[in-house]
Every structure is written in C-alpha cells, then in structure tokens.
Amino acid sequence: MSKLTSIEHHKPKKKGTQLVFWGLVGLMAVGLGGFGVTNFGGGLSTVGSVGDRDITTGAYARALQQEMRALGAQINQPVTMEMAKAFGLDQQVRRRLVTEAALSNEADRIGLSVGDARVAREITGTDAFHGPSGQFDRETYRLVLRQNNLSEGEFETGLREDMARSLLQGAVGGGFIAPAQMVNTLHAYIAERRSFGLLRVTEANLAKPLAAPTDAELQAWYEAHPADFTAPETKRITYAALLPQDVAATLPADEAALRQLYDERHAEFVQPERRLVERLVFPTAEAAAEARKRLDAGTPFETLVSERGLELADIDLGDASRDALGGAADAVFALTEPGIAGPVETDLGPALFRVNGVIAAHETPFEEVRDDLLTEYQQEAAGRAIAGRREQIDDLLAAGATLEDLAGEAGMKIATVDYAPGLDSDISGYEAFRTAADKLQKDDFPETILLNDGGLLAMRLDEVVAPKLKPFEEVRDDVAEAARKDALTKALAARATEIAKAAEEGTDLGSFGPVEDLGPMTRDGFVEGVPETLVPAAFEMQQGAFRAIEGADFAGVLRLDAVEPAAADDEAAKALKASLSAQIEQALSQDALALFSNSLMQEAGITLNDAAISAVQAQFQ
C-alpha cells in the first residue's frame, strides 16, 4: 500500500514518459502492410528476457521497424539493416526493450496495474481505431490489429503493461525540483555580460618592417616543409573532346533565325516605361484617406506600413509597368518623380502607392544584341550537331578506333592532362569529366561521356604519376610567400604580447591604433574575424586586465572594460531560470530512472538470444 501511495504522490511532469504503444499506434496510422514478424522458425519466439519477463521476437521486430522508418523519414531514403546497424539502431532498440522488460517485471512484482476502464478509454480515444463516423469502431480496431499481426488480447495486454510502466516511471522520475542554488549559479554564469576593447595588431604595428628572407633561408624553409611543395599523385589522361564552343565557330550565321529569336524575346529587349512601386492596402476608403492626410502632414510612410503590421518587403511591387498596375496605372504614372499616389481603388481594396523611382522606356535594337544572339544560336546549334554525331563516334570506338583516330575521323580535339581532385584545368571544370576520371582505370575501354553543355568526350588513362617534390626554382615564389606569412604571424604575436605588457604598465591601448568597443555580450557572443578563443578569454579576465590573443591569421590585444552581473529578476532572467529549472529537473529525472532501471536489470538478470536476434534482423535484409 505504501508503494501505491507513493506513486499517486509523485506525479510525472507535463513531459511525461511517452507510452511505447503510442509509437506502435503511430505505425498503424500509416500501415505496416502486414509485415511478417510472427514466424522465425526453430522455436525462436523470444529475443531475450529480464527476470520473468520475455522480450518477444514480434515486439523486437516491430520496434526495430519503427526506428528504421523514423530514420528513413529523417534522411529521406529507405534504411537497410546494414545502415540501421551502422547507426546503432538495433542496439538502441534492444536497450529500450530490456529497460521496459525490467520495469514490467518490477511492476508485476509489486502488483502494479491499471483497470479495464482506463485501458478502454485509451483504446477508444485513439484515432487509428476510429471509423468513418469519427468514433471508435470495433471492426476498424480489429482490422488495424490484424494488419499488424496483433490479437486484441496481445495489444490490450501490452497497452496495460505500458501504462503500468508509466506509473512506475512517474513514481521514480517525477517530483524532482531543481535546487535554487544550482539554478541561480548557472543563471549567473550564463547571463553575465562583459564589455571589452579590442586592438587588432597588424603589420603597421611592427616596430620595423619584416626583413626579406635570404636565398639560404628560403632553401631551408623549402627543405623543412616538403609536403607543402609536393605535387599530388595524378592520373595522366588523354582525352578526345567535341565541345560546343569549338563546333559553334564553324557554323554559319542564319540571319532569319536570329531575327526570329529577337522577335520571340521582344519583351526582353523592348521595355515599356516603368515605376518602382510599393502598395499599401487599407480596409476602407476612409482609412486610406486618413492615412493620406497623415502622410501629407509629415507622417513617414514607413510608420503607416508598420502600423498595418507589415514590412516594406511585404508591399514592394518592384518595377511595375502600366499593365501590371491595372486601374491604378493612371494615378501612379501621373507621377514623374518619386512621391505618393492615391488613394486608388484596387482589386485588394483602397491603396496608397509610393513611387520610389521612374524607369524610362528602353528599346535595345537588334543590331546591338545580334552578336549575343548569334553566340546563343550557335551554341544551341552546336549541341544539336554534336548529339547527331554521337552514334558515329560510338560506332568508331566499338570498331576499335583509338582516341587519336577520332581526331581525324570525327573532328575531335586530342589533349592530355594531369588530373587529381583539386587540380584546375579547362576540362576538369566539367563535373562529368571529374566523375569519370576519378573512376578511370588503366585498361578501361574508352566510351563517350556527355557533358552538361552538350559536349562529348572519351578518355584513356595513360599512367599514374607518383607524388613528386617540385623543384625549388619552380616554387620559389610560393616558398617565399609561405616563409613570409610564418614570419609575420610570429612577429605579430610577439608584438601583441609587447603591447599588452605596455598597456598593463599604463600606456593607453589606443595609442597603438584604433580600439573596437565590443559588447556587452554573453559567453555565446560572436565577433567577426577573430579566433573562437577570444570571447571565452574575455570571460576569464579581471576587469581592467589586458591579454594578447593569437590565432590563425590574427593577432590582437584584448582589454576587459566592464563586467555586468546577470540581472536577477527581470523577465528575461525569469524565463532563463525557468528553462534551466526544467532542464535540471529533466536531467535529474532521467538519471533517477536510469539508476533505477539498471538496478532492476542487475537484480532480475538479463538473458539475450543471439540466434533469435539474428533471425529477426534477417527479415529486414
């Protein structure tokens, strides 16, 4: 009796334990299509047990399928058993079922259960079991269970056990209250704000310019950093290509076709007069007239927009022609400079129009765009011509023609390139080339590859070129740049340390250059162009202290100007404390449940049947 009283007293929070069977009901709503989970052969009816509680193969299969479906919905693709294992879903499902079995075993031991009336309310209130009338329908209930290989008794027993487990979990994990001292300490830490000054140390702050490295120093740098100057392993590829830009130049100009293309795109080249317009609609003519009076009296247009609960982006019509403005065109186009038109009645109601600019009518004659149209026309014609020659090229390759033969017989250009991911060349700009080159092997038979611009190519792997250190003379400029960058980084870091020390001794930080005033900001604040360590460093300093900050391509001096303790009782503080309390209480609840469940499992003992587990998982292959 004392245990039941305790359960009633420690009611779970709003975010109570979700019933496992509700996940099953969710699956029923989309339909499992009669997934076969009832016959695993050889008497393999359970995958394990905890104490006197068995974990059935059916329960494991359904739970595993539920998790796989959920993951599939997240990644937008079906999840195989191999993928599920890679994500650890099978282990998660077994761990959850073992925990549930331990809780059910304990509920049995202490005699905890729920009545038939409570189970009936849950079933009749479940949407998946409702018929066309929107009410519980017994035939629908039986059909859904049958589709999921469940009997009424099996489902109702499972539901009753799930609800009993929920009561037990509520007794163990409910009723926790976050310690006020912990909440206040975390709030003070999170909500504290700091203001600081930042001097970005640049080359101009150095006492003297960097000395140019000598040849000997460059040679030493080159020898000390061979990996930076080593060419990667490459594939030496010979390819035959037929590209639109090469074919286009050989095609004649068809003046009639160009004129037709110009006429088809008349609206692009002949633009009527337009206005840059914003339209603010009102519910009544009286409201629009009153708004116009306020505008004329000096009220900003933006104020009226804000009062309507809108942003300027919501009312922007862009550059509108007469046709686009309909009945408002006369009023809007009567303005020859920026201003307000209206009120004008529109399809949406009375509206004011703000004209922000006048765009004069413009016509681009054919002669001005002829060359562009010719390029476009020839490119399209070249694509068609290349497509018509693909069959011929395929036949030549099938007959044993080499890439060099294609140059003479099909007019293709031959070239050789050293290719590796990240190495730029004209041909490697094509994704189709890169994809094929990555897979290309020494004895592959050349095949035509279609490029995204309509071009064709075929390729051959001549050799794989091993990584090779580039000669010093070839990379001397790169060596000089790398050496100088390293020297500058070290010099700036040293100078930042000197400036920080001078500032600590009383020299004004601003005497070394402009100081940015940053903050007040919290620990998660962001400053552009500085190392991630800068803001955390500011929260480790004492007020008035200075610190040199170093990072990739950065050196600076930080000065902590002010520390603002977290506000104790404003609305933001109350909201943050409430959130912290909820997180702490949830963590305490989860920890208590985990400790309780682990204790139950150790006391009752766990048995797992590897053969049955493998049999279930084999159904998903």
The per-residue pLDDT for 471 is 95
Task: Report CA-CA distances (Å) from 381 to 244, 374, 391.
Answer: 9, 10, 17
**Quick check: 13 pLDDT over 80?**
no
The per-residue pLDDT for 409 is 86
DSSP helix/strand/coil, 119: helix
**Quick check: 330 pLDDT over 50?**
yes
For the chain, the helix, strand and coil percentages under 3-state DSSP, each to the nearest 5? 55, 20, 30
The per-residue pLDDT for 266 is 73
pLDDT tens readout for residues 87-129: 999 999 999 999 999 999 999 899 998 888 998 999 998 988 9
**134 Ramachandran zone, left/alpha/beta (phi>0; psi -120 to 50):** left
Work out the pLDDT band at 12, boundaries 50, 70, 90: very low
Give me the mean pLDDT over the 401-409 stretch: 89
The per-residue pLDDT for 75 is 87
> In this prediction, what percent of the chain has a pLDDT beyond 70?
93
pLDDT tens readout for residues 197-233: 999 999 999 989 999 999 999 999 999 999 999 999 9
Counting Cα atoms < 13 Å in the Cβ hemisphere of 120 gives 4
Q: Evaluate whether 495 touches 207 at the Cβ level (below 8 Å).
A: yes
- 229's tokens: 């100057």
**Quick check: 259 pLDDT over 80?**
no
The per-residue pLDDT for 361 is 82
pLDDT tens readout for residues 445-456: 999 998 888 888
**How many residues does the structure list for the chain?**
621
Q: Evaluate whether 520 touches 193 at the Cβ level (below 8 Å).
A: yes
Say what the pTM is.
0.55
More confident of the two residues 193 and 25: 193
pLDDT tens readout for residues 560-575: 999 999 988 888 899 9
pLDDT tens readout for residues 48-85: 999 999 999 988 998 999 899 988 888 888 889 999 99
> In this prediction, what percent of the chain has a pLDDT beyond 90?
54
Out of 74-78, 376-380, 436-440, 530-534, which region has the weakest mean confidence (pLDDT)?
A: 376-380
Distance CA 23, CA 29 (A): 10
**Quick check: 6 pLDDT over 80?**
no
Q: Evaluate whether 201 touches 43 at the Cβ level (below 8 Å).
A: no
Give me the mean pLDDT over the 256-279 stretch: 81
Residues 6+ apart with CB under 8 A from 386: 242, 244, 247, 454, 455, 456
The per-residue pLDDT for 204 is 93
Give me the mean pLDDT over the 127-132 stretch: 89
pLDDT tens readout for residues 480-493: 999 999 999 999 99
The average confidence (pLDDT) of the chain is 86
Give me the mean pLDDT over the 258-265 stretch: 76
Give me the mean pLDDT over the 511-522 stretch: 94
Give me the mean pLDDT over the 458-478 stretch: 94
DSSP run (H or E) holding 198:
strand 193-200
- 562's tokens: 């002010």
The per-residue pLDDT for 367 is 79
Helices (H) and strands (E) in the chain, counts: 25, 19
For the chain, the distance separating the N- and C-terminal CA atoms, rounded to the nearest angstrom, is 49
Q: Checking DSSP bridges between strand 349-359 and strand 193-200, what pairing results, if any?
A: unpaired
Q: Evaluate whether 68 touches 84 at the Cβ level (below 8 Å).
A: yes
The per-residue pLDDT for 8 is 31
Helix-helix angle 255-264:366-398, to 10 degrees: 110
The per-residue pLDDT for 43 is 57
More confident of the two residues 5 and 221: 221
Distance CA 511, CA 557 (A): 13
Q: Is the dihedral of CA 318, 321, 325, 329 positive or negative?
A: positive
**Quick check: 24 pLDDT over 70?**
no
The per-residue pLDDT for 38 is 43
Distance CA 258, CA 273 (A): 26
- 424's tokens: 């730029």
DSSP run (H or E) holding 566:
none
Out of 22-26, 132-136, 432-436, 585-589, which region has the weakest mean confidence (pLDDT)?
A: 22-26
**Quick check: 550 pLDDT over 50?**
yes
**Hey, which residues does 562 pair with through a beta bridge?**
195
Q: Which amino acid is at 453?
A: D
- 192's tokens: 């504290």
Q: Which amino acid is at 407?
A: A
**Quick check: 384 pLDDT over 80?**
no
The per-residue pLDDT for 621 is 67
